[in-house]
Structure 1
Amino acid sequence: MGEALKIDNSLTYKLIDDKDVFMLISTVREGIKYSLFQSIADVIPFNLTEWSNFLHLSERTFQRYKKEKRTFDPLHSEKILEITLIYNKGIDVFGDPANFDAWLNAKNVALGGVKPKELLDSTFGIGLLRDELTRIEHGVLA
């Protein structure tokens, strides 16, 4: 899945999973530093425009965060971690980032005919993707 990336002195990219919920809660409360976000964005193949849409932040705001080395607020930090968790689960289910990326970008009948990637802008959409990945993982195809 790529090399481990150091995140907030205690979390690595590979360790962003739901096994240590208290670590995730602590990270959200402290906020994710832009450098951590950049480490995640370097691994997950979404461009700045997509991240901007997912987090409901303008690209200009992202540029300001980067320049000022800012920390994302808890709501944005939580969304970044949720997307990271979904991406990691998708790679586990599909066995390969390229296969999961193809699934994210293909219209999906089980998801109402939208591309799964289009659902990453809301917590409900992320939950729907999590449920669909679990069904795929267990061989229950709609």
Structure 2
Amino acid sequence: MKKSKKYKAFKSEDLSYIGDYEKPYGISETFVVNKGDQQVSYVVKNGYGYFLKDFKGARSLAEVARKLENKLTYAEISPIIDFLDLKMVDLAKAAAVSQSTVSRWSADSKIGIPGSYQFFKIDEVIKKGMEIFGRESSLKSWLNTPNMALGQVKPSDLLVSMTGIDLAHEAIDALHFGNVM
């Protein structure tokens, strides 16, 4: 008779030592897997985004969707705009609005659902990049350097469109798996 595997989830706070893992983003859980007489722990990070604080504690994409339906404010996306040094034309394109609309925004202006989704996806690229590069300065350097795999385009220039965000995700994934990009 084959032994079944037992999976048990612990909150990271419940364990006295997880290893060298730090929790820079959101909440984490450790899953302990018993395989015969061996026990292996896997840390799984929950939460989404890097600069968007309200998403760091989200436990599911359904929760993210509910937050996005409430629309992000200009103040919430400002750290992303500053990090990427977005110009008004790029900001308008990313938020799917006109430049004149952007010029009228105040800190508490809602940017709309399409723009909220776009900036959430941009923040996810930044989060993924931070997991690979470890420092904002290193990630910014990569984002602002023409990339051969992306047709000599700077990854930061691609982040104003959904297709470009997907390409940036793929380039970061390739780096994660050891490909040079």
Same fold (TM over 0.5): yes
The equivalent of 1:32 in structure 2 is 72
The equivalent of 2:56 in structure 1 is 15
Q: Which runs of 5+ in 1 are unaligned?
A: 5-10
Matched length: 131
From the superposition, tell whether residues 13 and 40 of structure 1 become closer, same or farther in structure 2 (CA, over 3 Å).
farther
Aligned residue type for 1:114: V
Q: Which of 92, 103, 128 matches 1:89? A: 128
Flag as ranges the 4+ runs of structure 1 deviating above 3 A: 39-42, 56-60
Percent identity over paired residues: 23
Report if the CA contact (8 A) 1:91-1:97 is conserved: yes
Aligned residue type for 1:117: S
Alignment deviations for residues 19-75 of structure 1 (CA, whole Å, 9 cap, x no partner): 621222112211112232235445x342343423433444442231216x3212110
Aligned residue type for 1:130: H
The structure whose residues are more often helix, as a share, is 1
Aligned residue type for 2:95: L
- Please give the residue correspondences for 1:50-65 in structure 2 after superposition, counting only pairs within 5 Å: 50-65=90-105
Inter-partner Cα distance in structure 1 for 2:148 and 2:165? 17
The structure whose residues are more often strand, as a share, is 2
Give the CA RMSD over aligned residues: 2.7
Higher relative contact order (CA 8 A, sep 6+): 1
Question: Quick check: 71-80 or 44-53, which moved more?
Answer: 44-53
The equivalent of 1:114 in structure 2 is 153
Q: Which runs of 5+ in 2 are unaligned?
A: 1-23, 27-51
Alignment deviations for residues 74-119 of structure 1 (CA, whole Å, 9 cap, x no partner): 1011001111111111111111111111111111101111111111
Aligned residue type for 1:89: K
Aligned to 2:172, what secondary structure does the other structure show? helix
The higher radius of gyration belongs to: 2
Report if the CA contact (8 A) 1:16-1:84 is conserved: no
